[in-house]
Structure 1
Amino acid sequence: MTDHIRELIQLAIDNIKYSYAPYSEFNVSAVLETATGELYTGVNIENAAYSPTNCAERTAVFKAVSEGHRNFSRIVILGGSKSNIIDFVTPCGVCRQVLVEFTNPEEFEIILAKSVDEYKIMKLSELLPYSFGPSDLE
């Protein structure tokens, strides 16, 4: 699994160049893996009006969902100022909520990476305890 995680991190590193962050200069890249092994990349895309800005995590999720995927196993997230990855980056609250919609928070892995050799693996439930999800509406 370690080699697979390193490959996912490298893909996120390679894709950070597509981030569009002219206002914050804080680039973020994500790689989402479906339960069946397909990979979807995403980057943050800023907008001068700010509220239309989209995070890397949601970009990856929306790409996957728009192609028929609804179950995910893990996501790699990395970022930094001007693409200089200097610390672990966690998903914002909105992204955490979107991830809850399509995952089992107790099983879904969030891989926070600084490099292919330096990363942390957390469960979504650790980052968003007591979340509100689809099962709460049943």
Structure 2
Amino acid sequence: MAVTDRLFEAASAAMAKAHAPYSRFPVGAAILAADGTVHSGCNIEVVSFPEGWCAETSAIAHMVMAGGSRQIAEVAVVAEKLVACSPCGGCRQRLAEFSGPGTRVHLCDAATGVVETVTMGELLPHSFATDALGEAKG
């Protein structure tokens, strides 16, 4: 099975588990880590909208908690109601922190799979880089 198909299937399975009672906009994301493992996540809403988690955020959390690679090789995002679901601005920055400008992001349609593939550099051309923070203090 192709990597893109594997990611689409994992993102779709995650989308089916979304907790989106307010927006009714379920989203799923799947990350292929540099070590070959796949980590998925769904959006989880709470009544205080900014306090919920996006699908990409929960996928990143699963990747970190798994204890393996923290480097994202590829990402797939799927939403039930969009032809090509793109990560929000906050998730673009979160994904950028664990990937590079050449990392492929697959924007998917729930019914047909990958619609478009872009790079992180195209999604977030001027991301805030951790090297801008200088040496960690403390």
TM-score (norm 1): 0.87
Equivalent AA in structure 2 for residue 80 of structure 1: E
Native 8 Å contact 2:106 2:114 kept in 1: no
Displacement, 1:56? 0.1
SS of 1:60's partner is: helix
* Structure 1 residues 108 and 22, CA gap change in structure 2 (3 angstroms): same
Match of 2:78 in 1: 78
Query: CA separation in 2, counterparts of 1:113 and 1:119?
Result: 5
* Structure 1 residues 117 and 55, CA gap change in structure 2 (3 angstroms): closer
Query: CA separation in 1, counterparts of 2:56 and 2:105?
Result: 11
Displacement, 1:128? 0.5
Native 8 Å contact 2:30 2:59 kept in 1: yes
Query: CA separation in 1, counterparts of 2:48 and 2:113?
Result: 37
The answer to whether structure 1 residue 94 and structure 2 residue 90 are counterparts is yes
Match of 1:26 in 2: 25
Query: CA separation in 2, counterparts of 1:9 and 1:116?
Result: 10
Residue correspondence of structure 1 range 1-138 to structure 2 within 5 A? 3-68=2-67, 69-81=69-81, 86-105=82-101, 107-114=102-109, 115-138=111-134
Displacement, 1:109? 0.9
Equivalent AA in structure 2 for residue 79 of structure 1: A
In structure 1, runs of 5+ residues without a counterpart are: none
Equivalent AA in structure 2 for residue 71 of structure 1: Q
Query: CA separation in 1, counterparts of 2:72 and 2:44?
Result: 22
- Matched residue count: 132
In structure 2, runs of 5+ residues without a counterpart are: none
Displacement, 1:116? 4.7
SS of 1:26's partner is: coil
TM-score (norm 2): 0.87
Tell me the percent identity: 30
Query: CA separation in 2, counterparts of 1:9 and 1:37?
Result: 15
Post-superposition Cα deviations, 1:24-73, rounded to whole Å, max 9, x if no partner, equal 00000000110111010100000011121100001000111122232110
